[in-house]
Amino acid sequence: MIITNVRKKCPVEKGFCFSCLKGCGEYNLIHFFDPVTVLLDEENVTTKGDAILIYGPTSREQISCDRGDVHFEKITFQGEDVPALLESYGLHTEKIYYPSERCSELLHMIFDKIDDEFFTPRKFSGNAVKIYSEQIFIQLCRDVNAGLAPEFDEKIVTTFCDIRKNIYAHPKDDWSVDKLSAAAGLNKARFFELYKKLFGISPIQDIISLRVRIAKTLLGTHRYTVAEVAEMTGYQNVFHFIRQFKKHTNITPKQYEKQN
């Protein structure tokens, strides 16, 4: 995603009308602080105050400030990854969102940060703009889904988070499925199911991925042999370590060490 323009809270006088019926070729996320009339699905829709609308590159845009002065802020962005990014957060173009008061305040603060980074020449400003812009998606997604019934109760979430924190704090321990499921007080099948739903990865793959990341860091120091790294990451068999490392990186530990 590339941010191409930013507009901090701007005033528009009553009677102003903007029209771009062929689309502007880029995405626009607009935060309206006051009611406006917009064209959606060939119909004019008047929003309530404090509304957010995302336009796609080919969206027919028509905005009328017919009820009074309007203040708004927006980011304009583009990129082949944008559709997948919006989908991952469950956000849609040409749909009106009404953030909560708290969310609206957070979004406004983020817009201020984006504006500052976008127009101030400093190192990594482009990276900061992109990160802050994605925070807008995250906050909006969380707010939109805040009223939905949680899939898991708080006790289950806390238990699984504690288990995962313990794994990450002691990656070389023998984290057997029996041990993990017992810690959760569940049978193995149910434990696997809930773990993957909560974290998007199975517990075994999570452990392997963690160990491989640690191994890459250790190999990059050029201070340890492959056998030592295997032992430090919880593998009793160095050949098993090499197989899993190659499966996840497509190269052997030795090859990785030479390339880094």
Tens of pLDDT along 209-228?
999 999 999 999 999 999 99
Tens of pLDDT along 62-84?
898 888 898 999 999 998 888 98
Same-domain pairing of 7 and 109: yes
Q: Percent of the chain at pLDDT above 70? A: 98
Same-domain pairing of 91 and 169: no
Q: How confident is the model at residue 148 (pLDDT cuts 50, 70, 90)?
A: low
Same-domain pairing of 30 and 92: yes
What number is the average pLDDT over the span 183-187? 93
Distance CA 164, CA 154 (A): 15
Question: What's the domain range around 131?
Answer: 2-144
DSSP reduced 3-state for 45: strand
In angstroms, the first-to-last Cα distance of the chain is 29
| Predicted local distance difference test score (pLDDT) of residue 20 | 84
Residue 149 lies in a domain: no
pTM of the model: 0.63
Sheet holding 51-55, edge to edge: 2-12, 70-78, 27-32, 51-55, 96-97
Distance CA 214, CA 134 (A): 28
Q: Tokens for 211?
A: 């160990």
| Predicted local distance difference test score (pLDDT) of residue 147 | 64
Final residue before a domain boundary, out of 95, 123, 144: 144
Q: How far is CA 33 from the centre of its chain?
A: 25
**What is the domain-level CATH number for residue 200?**
1.10.10.60
Residue 90 lies in a domain: yes
Same-domain pairing of 114 and 192: no
Tens of pLDDT along 108-136?
999 999 999 999 988 889 899 999 999 99
DSSP reduced 3-state for 26: coil
Same-domain pairing of 137 and 160: no
What number is the average pLDDT over the span 173-200? 91
Strand partners, 7: 74
Q: How confident is the model at residue 155 (pLDDT cuts 50, 70, 90)?
A: confident
What number is the average pLDDT over the span 73-100? 90
